[in-house]
Amino acid sequence: MEQISFVRRLYIGGLGHSVSEDELYERFSKFGNVTETEIISRKDEHGNPTKTFAYLNILLSEKELKKCMSVLNKTKWKGGTLQIELAKESFLHRLARERQEASMTKEKTDYNGMTDIQKSLKKSGVVDFHVKAVPGTEIPNHKDWVVSKFGRVLPILHLKDQHKSKIIKYDPSKYCQNLKKLDQEPIDAVPISQLTWHLQEADSIMSKKRQGQFPEAKKPPKKKTKIQNSDSLSKVNSNPENVIPAKLI
């Protein structure tokens, strides 16, 4: 009879301080498929290792586990005496497994719940949450389901207000008068050449501005300064009209 293999987490104590993960993998891979190794070394205040142990995940059957224990347990290896025990599941692995199981359970519950409701409604003449009836008609054997506009079967909701002090009953059949059914009429396709609008190119000025790419601001032109030469200054000095009169006393 073929034995089923499971992933076991082993505690490996009494390791030598120089043992590496590759050596540990090679040592235990003879008995099963090693999937993960973790070596932990405790040190004193001077940084010298005082205790070295490891956790190892290995896929093997019950028979292979017993063989591994009988062959390797309490044997001397790499300057230490091996002490092999079954370890508890690591916190991270257990957390990931519980989250996955909770997610699968929730999906299964949601699927089964929706399927059961559809089957139960189908017995009352409801097909795909639709039935021919007047809005406000209650579905037989379904207390919180009612017919809304256009024959849609919707649930009656019980909602809490903002302060969670009062429960409000929401009946969708009483708030359906503003609904309007759109006709599924085919839409005539218009060729691109007859469209009345155009799409701006990606490299146009407006497109670049919408993307926050603005052109560089132009620098103002430099002011030109007039420089008078010596001839013009001599003409001004020789002209009596340009002489400023002295202040009258």
Domain locations in the chain as residue ranges: 6-88, 137-178
Name, in order, each residue with C-beta under 8 angstroms of 39's C-beta and a sequence gap of 6 or more: 15, 19, 20, 21, 24, 52, 53, 54
Whole-angstrom distance, CA of residue 53 vs CA of residue 41: 7
* Grouped pLDDT means (10 residues each) for the chain, 249 residues: 79 89 90 90 87 90 90 89 84 75 66 62 72 75 77 79 77 74 72 73 74 76 67 57 51
Whole-angstrom distance, CA of residue 28 vs CA of residue 11: 12
Question: May I ask the CATH architecture of the domain 6-88?
Answer: 2-Layer Sandwich (3.30)
Q: Find the largest Cα–Cα distance for the chain.
A: 136
pLDDT of residue 108: 57
pLDDT of residue 154: 78
Reported pTM: 0.39
pLDDT of residue 248: 47
Whole-angstrom distance, CA of residue 137 vs CA of residue 144: 11
Cβ–Cβ < 8 Å for 135, 122:
no
Residue 79 DSSP symbol: T
pLDDT of residue 193: 79
pLDDT of residue 111: 46
Half-sphere exposure of 45 (CA within 13 A, CB side): 0
